[in-house]
Chains A and B, each alone.
Chain A
């Protein structure tokens, strides 16, 4: 009720049919470059480094191959026939092709049918969560029983740019289905979007540009707090109702600060905070944090996830973990299994793996 005594309509996105996550899976490539090694080459990174190290893909990996593996993990947990999927959606800002969907290759590789939606999603670091909200709509409206949404990136920073310390590779896949089959019921979602020029990449350019003036307060903090506060208010929940919270993590500081601003405690965000160990996986960032939380969650836990994508927008959604989680956690490799698989590389190997030398 507002001051005039009228009922304020809820802004939550609620589906007609109850829905949930029925399977999920992560992927992180095996190579790691420590931030200290990048700082050794590029001076100017005085003081504290934004992360400890970041994940780097192998020469034969890209958003398509990484999405295939995360999707196979999600299917193993869901225990469904991939032919029953009605959407295979990949959200990324590093799709291997400028024109030709990543989703069609992923769909073929995981054995999906030809009866699917498969357009790619782009919205900087919230491309994956935007795909997930679309999957909620497709399943929640009854258009299809199952939909697969993936957030995955092989992010690149310009050599020597501040983003090079954090731009990393990884992500996660989620299968949305009916609530009665869910390992976590989706209680609702809310998205907040404005036109904010904090970060962009023009067509045909290899590396993104960013505007220092816009990255913090008006971009990341404004959008995440707006999305989270509206979600909490309109769902009638408070920070203390959540066992876990996951926020987009471009570095280690921002998510910890935004959690504090919203009233969440460090214990609530610890499990989902992977950026110090793997870097910022862009469209995969908040979603792989969520997959690590689901790996250890217990029935009855509530999880709040809030993404952030430059340009700008945030998706907030709440999950309630069900009894089905326990037997599905062990049905595929866990997020931590990939993080533990680690081969350290130096800057020279990194330059080769990321194709930063022009050969012709």
Chain B
């Protein structure tokens, strides 16, 4: 994977940094500089709380290249507390069954490692069951 692309995306990917619309207050993720609700310009960075709930999920038994090491793993669409939907891996599930509506929270984890143990390690957000 191209290193420059990761470098540009790392703020949103490491820490769920999106945007807030100065016109209608909508929280936007991923950042796109234009508000999907009012179409106004929206470039103000916004740090999402990381809280959300599982909207839907699927278990991946066959993984795309670079992700094989973690199979089987669960990918979910998470509805963030601030509104937007985001697709991400679930992690630290232990023995807990995944359920629709399950409260989850963002953590920063290794997403993949390029070129086995020689390439760059890519970090990014995943979600785990809320602790406490």
Contact = CB atoms under 8 A, between A and B. Distances in A.
Interface of A: 29-30, 58-62, 64-65, 68-69, 96-97, 105, 108-111, 333, 337-338, 341, 343, 360
Given A65-B123, A109-B15, A111-B47, A60 B111 contact: yes
Nearest to B69: A59
Interface string B105-124: 00111110000100001010
Give the 9 A-B CB pairs with smallest separation, nearest first: A343-B94, A109-B14, A60-B109, A60-B110, A68-B108, A65-B109, A109-B108, A30-B92, A109-B15
A65 B108 contact: yes
Contacts of B132: 333, 337
A30 B69 CA distance: 19
Interface in B86-132: 89, 91-92, 94-95, 107-111, 116, 121, 123, 126, 131-132
B70 A59 contact: yes
Nearest to A342: B94
A60 B127 CA distance: 12
B14 A62 contact: no
A97 B89 CA distance: 24
A58 B108 contact: no
Contacts of B11: 108
Interface residues of B, number: 24
Nearest to B68: A359
A28 to B, nearest CB: 11
A65 B15 contact: no
Contacts of B70: 59-60
Nearest to A110: B15
A57 to B, nearest CB: 10
A168 to B, nearest CB: 17
B46 to A, nearest CB: 12
Contact of B110 (A62, A108, A337, A338): A62
Nearest to A343: B94
Interface string B40-57: 000000010000000000
Interface of B: 10-11, 14-15, 17, 47, 69-70, 89, 91-92, 94-95, 107-111, 116, 121, 123, 126, 131-132
Contacts of A64: 121, 123
B107 A65 contact: yes
B109 A61 contact: yes
Contacts of B126: 60
Contacts of A338: 131
A60 B123 CA distance: 9
Nearest to B10: A108
Contacts of B14: 68, 105, 108-109
A61 B128 CA distance: 13
B102 to A, nearest CB: 16
A283 B110 CA distance: 21
Contacts of A61: 109-110
Given A59-B69, A337-B132, A338-B131, 18 more contacts: A30-B92, A58-B109, A59-B70, A59-B110, A60-B109, A60-B110, A64-B121, A65-B108, A65-B109, A68-B14, A68-B108, A69-B107, A108-B10, A108-B15, A111-B17, A341-B94, A341-B131, A360-B116
B108 A30 contact: no
A53 to B, nearest CB: 15
Contacts of A96: 121
B10 to A, nearest CB: 6
17 contacts: A59-B110, A60-B91, A62-B121, A65-B109, A65-B110, A68-B14, A68-B108, A69-B108, A105-B14, A108-B11, A108-B15, A109-B15, A111-B17, A338-B131, A341-B131, A343-B94, A343-B95
Contacts of B17: 111
A71 B123 CA distance: 16
Given A60-B70, A60-B91, A109-B15, A97 B121 contact: yes
Given A109-B123, A111-B15, A333-B131, A58 B92 contact: yes
A30 B94 contact: yes
A40 B94 CA distance: 23
